[in-house]
């Protein structure tokens, strides 16, 4: 299998730092692994386009509703894991 040219974690760290700097967010407040895991669960449990949509909605829920990020992503991940069963 050919080797892929995937960027290392330092690229994602730099991107996170750049976005946080631009928007005045402390990078320590960004649970990168949790968000990426949530996106993966949505992509695999629902559909690939559900990943960015789910993380955007998570951000809105946390920002507007003042809900803790771990609670919001817990709901999303739970819904995604049972999505096929819920749709029957």
Q: Confirm if 32 and 73 have CB atoms less than 8 A apart.
A: no
Min mean pLDDT across 19-28, 51-60, 77-86 is at 77-86
Instruction: Encode burial over 23-52: b for 16+ CB neighbours within 10 A, e otherwise.
Output: eeeeeeeeeeebbeebbebbbebbeeebbe
Mean pLDDT (whole number) for 57-67:
93
The pTM (predicted TM-score) of the whole model is 0.83
């Amino acid at each position: 299998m050919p080797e892929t040219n995937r960027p290392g974690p330092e690229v994602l760290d730099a991107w996170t730092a750049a976005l946080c700097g631009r928007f005045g967010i402390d990078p320590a407040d960004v649970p990168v692994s949790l968000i990426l895991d949530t996106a993966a669960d949505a992509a695999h449990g629902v559909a690939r386009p559900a990943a960015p949509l789910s993380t955007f909605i998570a951000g809105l829920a946390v920002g507007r509703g003042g809900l803790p990020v771990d609670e919001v992503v817990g709901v999303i991940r739970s819904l995604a894991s049972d999505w096929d069963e819920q749709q029957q």
